[in-house]
Structure 1
Amino acid sequence: MHLGVFEVAGPQVGGTLSWSHPYSDSVHHRELQHWIDVAQLLEAAGFDFLFFADGYGYPTVGGDLPAVAAAGGLNFSGIDPMMIIPTLAHHTSTLGFVLTSSTGVDHPVATARRFATLDHLTNGRIGWNIVTGASQDTIAQLFGHTEMVAHDTRYEMAQEYVDLTLQLWEGCWEDAALVQDKESGVFADRDKLHRVEHVGKHFRSSGFFTVAPSVQRTPVLFQAGSSDRGREFAAGQAECVFLQGTTLPHAAANVADIRARAAAAGRDPQSVKVLVGATVTVAATHDEAIARRAEFEDMQTDEVAAVIYAGNTGIDLSALDPDRPLSQIHESSDGRIGQMGQSNIDRFRRADGTWPLVREVLEELRGRGTRGFTVVGDPIEVADRLEEIMDVTGVDGFLLEAIFSPSDHRLFCELVVPELRRRGRLLAEEDRPAGSGSLRERIGGSSPRLSADHPGARYVPEPTTV
């Protein structure tokens, strides 16, 4: 079972309200020691990585920041998690770090440089969660764009964006290009450096990538979109896919679809690891866990749920008829519908093609937000449910989304991790195979480098012979 923790460098995770509860310490998210403690806790428990969602956006209704979003810290306010990773790497030795970075903000060269630098500073423990954007209408305004880029165009841009970063990471430096020989005075062998020339529809680049190859060269590529276009992109590029499961059949269908698409793209489908979000509330006894979860649910309201959903999808549920299906959104002339947060629209479409009532959507969002599976119980019950989800859906593990951070992480490590180890689902650090220091190896790769069937491998140059 692969395990990561889904976090934000902000007040709370997952489109719900919890930061003000006594169980939560997330108000300390601007303090380094807060994250050092979290990272060391996860590493000691054998987690594979700490994952940071990130973005510049925030919820809007009618084009403005709602008072409830500001007051509730609802996807509003936060710091750049990329800045704290070198410190966390210094205080850990095995834990990986996955960072979200959009293909719709910076030029690919800037992104490639940052991630290559982080891979050096973490000694090969970095991953890139590739997103095409979030709260895209807000982003367009913040960055002075005249209009929001259409959903399918964003994926077209993302494909070219990732393609160029792969050329930079894999195609510029041969393995023997970095010499660093003081006696001869040669730092790099010019004959083993290759110029990158890219002229695309959305991006251009001509020149040499200045960061020497890191342990992994290319960070582990994560992707979290579950729209049809998102799954197609993930199957072609991602090494690890993050899904938000609503039901076991829904998650199983998505896993099977991604792996079938990966095979069609010429990749080993089992090399694509699929993780699903899970909010675990655990306590020593069943009743204590139920009571803890109830305290969280008592804080949630329809207003909170509606504001978060509007920020993610552009859909103001409070303005819709609560007794009609969600499909009424398609009657709107608002051009944003279907152009942002498509995964969080599609998640409510039933297998038979019908849609729930808006009041039913609000009811689910009220206690769940944009999270995945909800698991509540004592350690045995939690372990049983996690095993069931894995066995039925075919996922490779979980991204845990705390409601009370970081106390939920501590309880999981204290109560559930020992049970998972007893069942052989989770390895202790000393039992892991030797040579698994990079994040890519930790999640199942045979080496720190991209696999030979990944599209990026085609950019690796033939060694120059003298």
Structure 2
Amino acid sequence: MSPEPRRHVRFNAFDMNCVGHQSPGLWRHPQDRSTDYASLRYWTHLAQVLEKGLFDGLFIADVLGTYDVYGGSNEATLRAGTQVPVNDPFLLVSAMAAVTEHLGFGVTAGTAYEHPYPFSRRLATLDHLTEGRVGWNVVTGYLPSAARNMGQTDQREHDERYEHADEYLEVIYKLLEGSWEDDAVVRDTERGVFTDPAKVHEIGHEGRYFSVPGIALTEPSPQRTPVIFQAGASPRGTRFAAEHAEAVFVAAPTREQLTATIARIRDAVEAAGRDRSDVRIYAMLTVVTGPDDATARAKYAEYRSYTDVEGALALISGWMGVDLSAYDPDDVIGTDVQSNAIQSAVATFQQASGDTGAPWTVRQLAEWVGVGGFGPVVVGSGEDVAAELIDWVDETDVDGFNLAYAITPGTFEDVVEFVVPQLQALGAYPTEYEPGTLRHKLFGRGDRLPDAHRGSRYRVGAALGATR
């Protein structure tokens, strides 16, 4: 018998329309181009690099506020360029889609501050313009500064943010899945009828948070609902992902923590009535590589010399909702800390460090996040990195990696040049793209939401009144 084919490693690139997304201080490196974030040429070049490397997609993070928990102000954030200035991610996608054929785009947008009615139109528009290559990373928000600037005193409590998001997605599904029939647009020039009114339906939604009585403004796009991405790993976030997500991004500093997180997500997906493989799970990770091990390690040492410690602490404080300026560098984060921000970030950093086995100190947190952010860093030749990534997949059941950068686009160019060919030689990476939409590329089961997905219950012909 011939051996079973090796499971493929999958890649997304992790970036943000800002300076120095996950590596505070690295914008100062002479080869980093993140300061070109306001130039379309930066983004179109990056998209072409990633498509050359057969990446599943470019995952574009976003925040609608500044990190001002550290020291009670945004001064450290502004000095370090910690995710500010930051521009809108949606406006990048059309240009990148125009210079690529297959690359997917996962775009972050929150449910807290934009009404789902106009937002559904933006999603459908991008799905049309990309010919079905767009996904939506659903976030509920975690920065108090965003809430204040949107006229609120603070953001909703953590779990209520997910209750609100549940209804938000219900409205999106009703508009994109249940308003227009597939053949509503007839383009009948003889009768002068572009759309058959009998095949366009009001959704009649009346819920706790939203009232949306009318029809969707867009005709059905290739995927109707773009691929749903999600990154919450708290208990409530995991339940939300189990019901909605098709791709889940996680961050864990060790294989042991990652294995436990993935098992918990797949258990929840199964409990929601879906197959355990109905989500693609990507772990955040940074690769520093080169033609040989010595070159890669020299690069990593050089990158670490550019780390902005205060900028890293400002970033972590925002993630955790904890002002780390109040701690001594050698203090550890106690188990009594409560967070209304990213609860999984607090839980992760309260566990033992993967390097020492002891609790994380504030100093260690800053050093860890300094290059590549929340996830681990793999350093070595292309051959060594490929072997290690395969081990991660085999050991943890992760589908692939959401690759953060130390410098951009250099980190991604190195992965494409040195790691991808090694993975391909081992039969652990595709050699060509699957045709079709992003959803079909990820699962090979067509363009539309599968029948087991919660959104499918809102298709045309279903009872579309509010369900709460």
1:411 aligns with 2:414: yes
Q: How far apart are 1:62 and its partner, in Å?
A: 4.5
What corresponds to 2:268 in structure 1? 261
What corresponds to 1:447 in structure 2? 446
1:149-175 CA distance string (max 9 Å, x none): 111110111111111101111010111
RMSD (Å), alpha carbons? 1.9
1:3 aligns with 2:11: yes
| SS of equivalent to 2:11 | strand
What corresponds to 2:457 in structure 1? 458
CA–CA distance in 2 between the matches of 1:12 and 1:355? 29
What corresponds to 2:388 in structure 1? 385
CA–CA distance in 2 between the matches of 1:367 and 1:87? 31
Letter matched to residue 247 of structure 1: T
Q: How far apart are 1:143 and its partner, in Å?
A: 1.1
CA–CA distance in 1 between the matches of 2:102 and 2:362? 45
What corresponds to 1:294 in structure 2? 301
1:313 aligns with 2:320: yes
What corresponds to 2:332 in structure 1? 325
Would you say how many aligned residue pairs link Structure 1 and Structure 2?
A: 450
Q: How far apart are 1:357 and its partner, in Å?
A: 4.8
| SS of equivalent to 1:236 | helix
1:194 aligns with 2:193: no
Q: Could you tell me whether the CA contact under 8 Å between 2:24 and 2:81 is conserved in 1?
A: no
1:71-86 correspondence runs (5 A): 71-86=79-94
What corresponds to 1:345 in structure 2? 346
Q: Assess, with a 3 A threshold, how the Cα gap between structure 1 residues 428 and 204 changes in structure 2: closer, same or farther.
A: same
Letter matched to residue 403 of structure 2: L
CA–CA distance in 2 between the matches of 1:252 and 1:53? 24
Q: Which runs of 5+ in 2 are unaligned?
A: 1-8, 463-468
CA–CA distance in 1 between the matches of 2:425 and 2:308? 39
Picking from 33, 36, 51, the partner of 1:43 is 51
More displaced 10-residue stretch of structure 1: 317-326 or 394-403? 317-326
1:223-263 CA distance string (max 9 Å, x none): 01111111111111000000012111111111111111111
1:191-240 CA distance string (max 9 Å, x none): 21111111111111110001000000000000011111111111110000
Q: How far apart are 1:266 and its partner, in Å?
A: 0.6
Q: Could you tell me whether the CA contact under 8 Å between 1:197 and 1:207 is conserved in 2?
A: yes
Q: Could you tell me whether the CA contact under 8 Å between 2:309 and 2:370 is conserved in 1?
A: no
| SS of equivalent to 2:176 | helix
Letter matched to residue 320 of structure 1: Y
What corresponds to 2:4 in structure 1? none
Letter matched to residue 350 of structure 2: R
| SS of equivalent to 1:196 | coil
What corresponds to 2:375 in structure 1? 372
Q: Could you tell me whether the CA contact under 8 Å between 1:217 and 1:449 is conserved in 2?
A: yes
Q: Assess, with a 3 A threshold, how the Cα gap between structure 1 residues 151 and 132 changes in structure 2: closer, same or farther.
A: same
1:358 aligns with 2:361: yes
What corresponds to 2:181 in structure 1? 174
1:104 aligns with 2:107: no
1:120 aligns with 2:128: yes
Q: Could you tell me whether the CA contact under 8 Å between 1:402 and 1:408 is conserved in 2?
A: yes
Q: Could you tell me whether the CA contact under 8 Å between 2:232 and 2:344 is conserved in 1?
A: yes
| SS of equivalent to 1:326 | coil
Q: Assess, with a 3 A threshold, how the Cα gap between structure 1 residues 252 and 92 changes in structure 2: closer, same or farther.
A: same
Q: Could you tell me whether the CA contact under 8 Å between 1:13 and 1:403 is conserved in 2?
A: no
Q: Could you tell me whether the CA contact under 8 Å between 1:15 and 1:371 is conserved in 2?
A: no
TM normalised by structure 2 equals 0.92
1:72-98 CA distance string (max 9 Å, x none): 211210211211211111111111111
| SS of equivalent to 1:386 | helix
Picking from 63, 73, 92, the partner of 1:64 is 73
Q: Could you tell me whether the CA contact under 8 Å between 1:279 and 1:403 is conserved in 2?
A: yes
Q: How far apart are 1:302 and its partner, in Å?
A: 3.4
1:286-322 CA distance string (max 9 Å, x none): 1111111111111224322221112222212121245
CA–CA distance in 2 between the matches of 1:40 and 1:134? 32
What corresponds to 2:3 in structure 1? none
More displaced 10-residue stretch of structure 1: 366-375 or 84-93? 366-375
What corresponds to 2:436 in structure 1? 437
Q: Could you tell me whether the CA contact under 8 Å between 2:136 and 2:226 is conserved in 1?
A: yes
Q: How far apart are 1:134 and its partner, in Å?
A: 3.4
CA–CA distance in 1 between the matches of 2:164 and 2:267? 24
More displaced 10-residue stretch of structure 1: 90-99 or 337-346? 337-346
CA–CA distance in 2 between the matches of 1:150 and 1:450? 30
Q: Could you tell me whether the CA contact under 8 Å between 1:279 and 1:371 is conserved in 2?
A: no
What corresponds to 1:285 in structure 2? 292
Q: Assess, with a 3 A threshold, how the Cα gap between structure 1 residues 367 and 212 changes in structure 2: closer, same or farther.
A: same
TM normalised by structure 1 equals 0.92
More displaced 10-residue stretch of structure 1: 358-367 or 341-350? 358-367
| SS of equivalent to 1:83 | helix
| SS of equivalent to 1:380 | helix
